Amino acid sequence: MNDELLMEKCRGVLKRIAWRLQYQAKKISTRELPIIENACGQNQMSSVDAKLHVEEMLNSLPAKARFIIEQVVIHGVPEEIVAQHLGISQQGVNKYKRKYLALLREKLESNSARS
């Protein structure tokens, strides 16, 4: 009986943790993805052109930064998992992500100012 109660309690804790992780990921994506959507909106380019433009922008980044942006921002992989894959800390992944998203934002703004 105690084992069943313990198992049920563990399941509840795991469900709450999973919900919090999903909520955080959703919060982050709603904060970061509008940068790409605003810069590559339908008024400026067709969706195919927008995808090519985003690919071109990502390819201009260093390999590690491109991997982090693709995994965390585009595919929604948690920073902790990307950090484990790269052998760096979660804070390092977050630092790279913020740095290179800011760089992409600057490039997009300068490109839209020229157009």
Number of other CB atoms surrounding residue 21 within 10 Å: 12
37/69 Cα distance (integer angstroms): 15
pTM, to two decimals = 0.56
Q: Are 51 and 36 in contact (CB under 8 A)?
A: no
Each residue of 17-75: pLDDT tens digit?
A: 777 777 777 777 676 666 655 655 544 445 666 677 778 888 888 999 999 988 988 88
Per-residue pLDDT for 100 more than 80?
Answer: yes
Task: Provide the residue type at 100 as one letter.
Answer: Y
- Residue 108, pLDDT score: 77
